[in-house]
């Protein structure tokens, strides 16, 4: 801005009158126009950016919806796979239990009867008693395999009942570790797949206790609190280094426990170290229990 001014001053040097201010108004107007133009351009730019942000927001929303749909489809797919898998397992378990298992049981009774009749007539029973004993073992094996394929009781009585009978069976057949079972959970989880997953997780933990822990005592606890469920499987055995063992390619069991826990949206905590026993916690939160 060009500014020219003349001031009429008193003898004392005080300004008495401003004679002229030559203001280059044109320059000011021009700058004002420029500034207005810049503001308008910036406003337009801002509007364009805001539109872009809105567009991006709606694209993000659409992408989130697609992700939700995919998750839902994945969940449905898993549920269907589980359902089909369970159906197949049930069929197989039924064939084993009701077919082969029952046939073996009848054969065993018939054999027992034959042995008794031969003995009553003082006729040698040769090795029939051993065959009878072997058959008894085979029947137990078939029963165990059936249990592994599907705990038949789960669909009928729920997983708590199945776990209780599993623990009873264990204490009956496996005397080196004393198993205890505690629960304050009297209801059942609404989803049969969740029940089966929890059952499988506990089954793997128990198998590991039997196979690896050398524990004298082991306990399974299922405690419910409001809408959460805490599952604990612990033993006083030799313990192990969880993160190290998890990396071992041959260890399928722990990896399955981890992936089942993830599928259940649950938290897994393995508290174990060599010589100090093992405590495995699975926490299911916010369930409609």
Ligand X SMILES: Nc1ncnc2c1ncn2[C@@H]1O[C@H](COP(=O)(O)OP(=O)(O)OP(=O)(O)O)[C@@H](O)[C@H]1O
Which residues would be at the binding site for ligand X (CB under 6 A)?
208-209, 211-213, 235, 237-240, 245, 251-254, 278
The least distance separating ligand X from the CB of residue 185, rounded to whole angstroms, comes to 23
Q: Which is nearer to ligand X, 209 or 282 (CB)?
A: 209
**Would you tell me the crossing angle of helices 192-208 and 159-173 to the nearest 10 degrees?**
20
* In the complex, minimum distance from the CB of residue 250 to ligand X, in angstroms, rounded to a whole number: 6
Task: Compute the distance between CA of residue 160 and CA of residue 67 in angstroms, rounded to an integer.
Answer: 35
> Given the complex with ligand X, which of 153 and 204 has the nearer CB atom?
204
245, interface contact from ligand X, Mg ion, none, CB < 5-8 Å by kind: ligand X
Shortest reach from residue 158's CB to ligand X, in Å = 25
Q: Are 93 and 155 in contact (CB under 8 A)?
A: no
Please give the distance of CA 206 from its chain centroid, rounded to a whole number.
18
Query: In the complex with Mg ion, which residue's Cβ is closer, 89 or 255?
Result: 255
Interacting partner of 238 out of ligand X, Mg ion, none (Cβ under 5 to 8 A depending on kind): ligand X
Minimum distance, C-beta of residue 109 to ligand X, in the bound complex (Å): 35
The one among 100, 242, 253, 283 contacting Mg ion by CB under 5 A: 253
Segment contacting Mg ion by CB under 5 A, of 2-10, 133-141, 241-249, 250-258:
250-258
195 binds, among Mg ion, ligand X, none (CB under 5 to 8 A by kind): none
Closer residue to ligand X (CB): 194 or 235: 235
- Residue closest to ligand X, measured at CB: 253
| Of residues 188-227, those binding Mg ion (CB under 5 A) | 208
d(CA 97, CA 91): 10
Residue 104 class from Cβ within 10 Å (0-12 exposed, 13-18 middle, 19+ buried)? Answer: middle
Closest approach, Cβ 202 to ligand X, in A, equals: 12
Cβ distance to Mg ion smaller for residue 158 or 253 = 253
Please report whether residue 278 would count as binding Mg ion according to CB under 5 A. Answer: no
Q: Closest distance between ligand X and the C-beta of residue 266, in Å?
A: 18
CB of 91 to ligand X, least distance (A): 25
Q: Which residues bind Mg ion (CB under 5 A)?
A: 208, 253
């Amino acid at each position: 801005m060009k500014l020219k001014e003349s001031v009429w001053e008193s003898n004392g040097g005080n300004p008495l009158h401003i004679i002229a201010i030559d203001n280059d108004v044109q320059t000011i107007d021009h700058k004002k126009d420029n500034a207005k133009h810049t503001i308008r351009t910036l406003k337009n730019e801002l509007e364009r950016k805001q539109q872009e942000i809105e567009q991006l927001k709606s694209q993000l929303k659409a992408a989130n919806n697609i992700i939700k749909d995919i998750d839902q489809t994945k969940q449905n797919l898993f549920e269907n796979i589980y359902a089909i898998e369970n159906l197949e397992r049930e069929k197989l378990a039924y064939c084993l239990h009701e077919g082969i298992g029952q046939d073996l049981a009848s054969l065993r009774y018939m054999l027992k009867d034959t042995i008794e009749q031969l003995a009553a007539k003082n006729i040698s029973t040769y090795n029939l008693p051993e065959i009878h004993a072997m058959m008894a073992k085979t029947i137990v094996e078939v029963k165990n395999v059936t249990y592994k394929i599907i705990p038949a009781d789960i669909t009928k009585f729920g997983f708590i009942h199945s776990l209780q009978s599993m623990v009873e069976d264990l204490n009956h057949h496996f005397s080196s570790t004393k198993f205890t079972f505690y629960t304050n959970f009297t209801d059942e989880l609404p989803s049969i797949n969740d029940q089966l997953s929890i059952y499988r997780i506990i089954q793997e933990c128990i198998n590991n206790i039997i196979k690896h822990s050398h524990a004298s005592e082991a306990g399974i606890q299922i405690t419910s609190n409001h809408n959460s469920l805490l599952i604990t499987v612990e033993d006083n055995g030799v313990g192990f280094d969880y993160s190290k063992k998890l990396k071992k390619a041959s260890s399928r069991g722990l990896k399955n426990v981890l992936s089942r826990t993830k599928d259940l949206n649950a938290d897994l905590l393995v508290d174990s170290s060599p010589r100090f026993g093992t405590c495995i916690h699975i926490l299911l939160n916010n369930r409609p229990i």
